Chains A and B, each alone.
Chain A
Amino acid sequence: MIMDNARLIPFAAALSLEAASAEIVSQRNNGSILKVKLLENYSIQLGGEGLCFKDSELIKAVSTGFGLPCFLPLFRHFNNALKSISMLLKIKSILSSKQTSSEKVSVGLRAGLAATAAFANHDSQSKKLLESEESGIVLFTIANSDIAVWISFSANELCQVGSKPLKIKPAAIFTFQNLKVASSAISGWFDHLGGPALGEAEISGNIPLLDKIGYISRKAQKEVPSIL
């Protein structure tokens, strides 16, 4: 389904939050995943009933750290809403931390790739770029660490993002030199042309595919606001 930017951007932001929460849950073994549900009245539900934002408020929330949720569902499902708010605060705390940690990087990478996947699935230009590609997985890793986040796609399915160990060989691998470089990438400060040339990242495998995913991710990063 192709979306116009007015909906795609908050939707991509919400999917980033869902991915970030999923990464936190998998690492800490607690908390709840902020499952996204796109509602018809230009609002988005996060983590089941309870926490719901108007699209515009969600954009405020991800860009400034605060957005006003819809009150009615909040009061109706208060406990569930609190769980979701707690997870949102965790995400904020991790991503806005000035320290570069492996948790920050893995959460940030997965969140960023989720926005990329949203564009790959629902933005007409991005979707078209991947049309000619066969199915495949692009893996993002950090040298000397066990962080591994991936984005997968195939002709008939939606792009997906994950961080579980891969059973199949990726089509392309992007390896950041260290956490600091990866952290700069999730903040939008990584030079995709200059970085690999200076050894800040290593690229291998299907470079045209990596190039397309890279372009889509930069587009998503440009369009979707973030507190980073």
Chain B
Amino acid sequence: MSIKREISDSLFTRALNVIPGGIYGHVAPVAGLPRYFPHYAQSASGARFVDVDGNEWMDFMCGFGAILHGYSNPEIEDFAEEQRSKGSVFNQPSPIMVELAELLTTNIDFADWTVFAKNGSDLTTWAIRVAREQTGRPFVLKAKGSYHGVDAWCDPGFGGRLEEDRTHILEFSWNSLDEFQNLLKSYANQISSVILTPYHHAAFAPSILPTDKFWKVVEKECEKNGIILILDDVRAGGRLNEGGSHRYFNFTPDLSIYSKALGNGYAISACVGKEFLRNSSKEVFLTGSCWNDAVSMAAAFKSFEISQRDKVAESVLKKGDYFSAGMVARANQLDLPLTMTGPSSMPYPWFEGDGNLFRIQKFCELAAGKGLYFHPHHNWFISNALDYNDLDQAIDLAAQAMIELRDFEKS
């Protein structure tokens, strides 16, 4: 397909006048393929979206993870619409807030309570403060290169930051239990929390699954040392296990944060916690003007219900297995050694020896020409709206892109 982009470019040019950089953050064109991806989307349904120039894309990014059940999922939209007809933000929360909290605490095995916000960052930052309130200790331990949001203690940018923003943040390499335990020793009785994603899904790098003993040791050490274990399940939540990613890796956190797929495209985040943290959670101020937004809560309620009913995590993992196996087989046939890293429901493709990413960038450019939205720098997401015919089609198109890649490299 030849990608039309006149309207995209025209909108972007207008945006540059009124929005610094035109588009910012993880969706900034420079973070992806600036001249191969569209700048603006017009509409989306199921596993496909149409950009403002009318190009249709088969989507493997799902709004960077915000969509799990497909775009414009009718069940979710109908349920959200019902709430929208009554109103969304009032002086008081709506009954749906209680119903959603009950649904989450019932279905997430360790959860005794829930709070809501809008973004993952709202609650990762709040959670480390709850841990500090509980323990009276200042330090937070995280994995190097992990993303926990946009706040100054953890954002991946460079500007506007003070050195003291990270004075109390300690880092260890993912899976390095030696480094982890050394930090526990060096900062004995000073560490309030360990915050980790269920597996290491850094951008621009292959995803790394935890070793067999990683979570067991982390969980045990946290318990032994009175450290609060916080699971940042913002990205993976709902994609590995319907009850939270800790169940996929068989451990239990003290606090867990969900967002992305929780509302299937509606802005909402949730933090669930164990009973012993209830009082501390009440001491750390938490609010936002539109955080009681009942429409998002309704969407999250229906989305979570569908996940439980249809075992959606299991479904996207199976589809991901099928897709990844197809991709790897085609790449191997062409002598392009490829590994689909991370869990199959959110795979990140890694070409052997491609540390500087030139090959994956070229591959994704060529795939874009075939209507496949494959991101070169961020893990992909398998939408449950993709069926096996879609996956076959995607694998075939990807294989064509691989042939072109091989020819390009030979030339």
Contact = CB atoms under 8 A, between A and B. Distances in A.
Interface in B1-41: 9, 12-13, 16, 20-24, 28-31, 34-35, 39
Contacts of B24: 193
B356 interface: yes
A169 B357 CA distance: 12
A154 to B, nearest CB: 15
A44 B21 CA distance: 38
Contact of A193 (B21, B356, B357): B21
B29 A197 contact: yes
A196 B37 CA distance: 12
Given A197-B34, A202-B35, A203-B30, A191 B16 contact: yes
A197 B158 contact: no
Contacts of A192: 21, 30
B356 A198 contact: no
A207 B158 contact: no
Nearest to A132: B144
Interface residues of B, number: 26
B356 A194 contact: no
Contacts of B30: 192-193, 196-197, 203, 207
Nearest to B161: A125
A51 interface: no
Contact of B34 (A169, A203, A212, A215): A203
Contacts of B13: 198
A194 B356 CA distance: 23
A205 B356 contact: yes
A198 B159 contact: no
A193 B28 contact: yes
B377 interface: yes
Interface residues of A, number: 24
B39 A212 contact: no
B204 interface: yes
A125, A192, A197: residue with the most chain B Cβ atoms closer than 10 Å: A197
Contact of A129 (B21, B28, B158): B158
A192 B31 CA distance: 11
Interface string B150-182: 000000001100000000000000000000000
Contacts of B12: 194, 197-198
B356 A196 contact: no
B228 to A, nearest CB: 27
Interface of A: 125, 129, 132, 136, 169, 171-172, 191-194, 196-199, 202-208, 212, 215
Interface of B: 9, 12-13, 16, 20-24, 28-31, 34-35, 39, 144, 158-159, 204, 355-358, 361, 377
Given A193-B29, A205-B361, A206-B204, 20 more contacts: A132-B144, A191-B16, A191-B21, A192-B30, A193-B21, A193-B22, A193-B28, A197-B29, A197-B39, A198-B13, A202-B34, A202-B35, A203-B34, A204-B358, A205-B356, A205-B357, A206-B356, A207-B30, A207-B204, A215-B158
7 contacts: A132-B144, A193-B30, A196-B34, A198-B13, A199-B34, A202-B34, A202-B35
